[in-house]
Amino acid sequence: MAQKTLKISETPWQEAYARLTEIIQPRPIALASTLDPELGPNLAPFSFFTIVSSNPLYLAFCPQISGRNGTPKDTLLNIQRHPEFVIASVTESIAEQVNAASTPLPHGESEFDFTGLTPVPAQKVKAFCVKESPINMECTLVEIRSYGNDPGAGNLIIGKIELIHIDEAVLDANGKIDPALLQTVARMGGADWCRSQDRFSYVRPDR
Ligand SMILES: Cc1cc2nc3c(=O)[nH]c(=O)nc-3n(C[C@H](O)[C@H](O)[C@H](O)COP(=O)(O)O)c2cc1C
């Protein structure tokens, strides 16, 4: 079988990054709502996003240093200044607005205004929830780990989930979140996204 091997130390980082995002897919998308204490709210999507601990309940996402201009993204700057944030789920109904929220607006310009998504006050944190998303998770910062200052360098942001708000419209009769109602979308390689509506089930062998 012919195979191509990428030696990462000899591969331009942009190419290695593109291959990795084609390999690790589909990736769920965190819609991160943050706050600059002086300049106000900010919203941006991040598909480098996962659970990191169930007890305590921690999640992580990763704003990279911009590959475009080598600067830290507003989301990172805001969390460094104000260590709280809200992560909203990205569903089919808001996918286009979420994509628009990735526009690199000048620091201090709100992607809420730009996309038409609606900020609503959270209960525990000062960052806003996203009205149009059925799930909003209020988080406090646990730690930030930075992996350099070069374009593309990652910043791992770990947050403790303090409150989860769930729109009852996405709950089934047993109070569980029904994926057929939630309708999340995810990120593939390049410009591709995917839906979560083609599913199958296995009972785990240890259950
Ligand atoms: C669906 C989607 C997922 C994205 N995932 C990431 C990511 O995981 N890490 C990252 O640095 N940028 C990611 N981006 C790009 C950021 O959203 C974009 O750089 C944005 O302008 C950052 O906003 P901010 O400067 O307001 O924080 C993604 C964009 C889209 C549309």
Quick: pLDDT tens for 35-91.
Answer: 999 999 999 999 999 999 999 999 999 999 999 999 999 999 999 999 999 999 999
Mean of the per-residue pLDDT values for the chain? 97
Residue 80: what pLDDT?
98
pLDDT band at 180 (very low <50, low <70, confident <90, very high): very high
Residue 3: what pLDDT?
97
- Of the options 3.40.1280.10, 2.30.110.10, 2.40.128.130, 3.30.70.270, the CATH number for the domain spanning 26-187: 2.30.110.10
Q: Has residue 14 got a pLDDT over 90?
A: yes
Distance from Cα 45 to the centre of ligand 1, integer Å? 5
Residue 3: CA atoms inside 13 Å, Cβ hemisphere, count? 4
Q: Which numbered atom of ligand 1 lies nearest the CA of 64?
A: 11
Instruction: State percent of the chain over pLDDT 70.
Output: 100
For ligand 1, atom 9: residue with the closest CA: 63
Most ligand 1 atoms within 8 A of CB, residue of 43, 46, 188 to mutate:
46
CA–CA gap between residue 207 and residue 205 (Å, rounded): 6
Helix (H, G, I), strand (E, B) or coil at 158: strand
CA–CA gap between residue 27 and residue 21 (Å, rounded): 9
Q: What is the pLDDT of residues 155-164, one digit of tens each?
A: 999 999 999 9
Q: Is 64 in the pocket of ligand 1 (CB under 6 A)?
A: yes
What are the backbone dihedrals phi and psi of residue 52, each rounded to the nearest 5 degrees, phi first?
-115, -15
Place of tokens 């990279």: 64
Residue 133: what pLDDT?
98
In sequence order, the 6+-apart residues with CB closer than 8 A to the CB of 26 are 186, 187, 188, 194
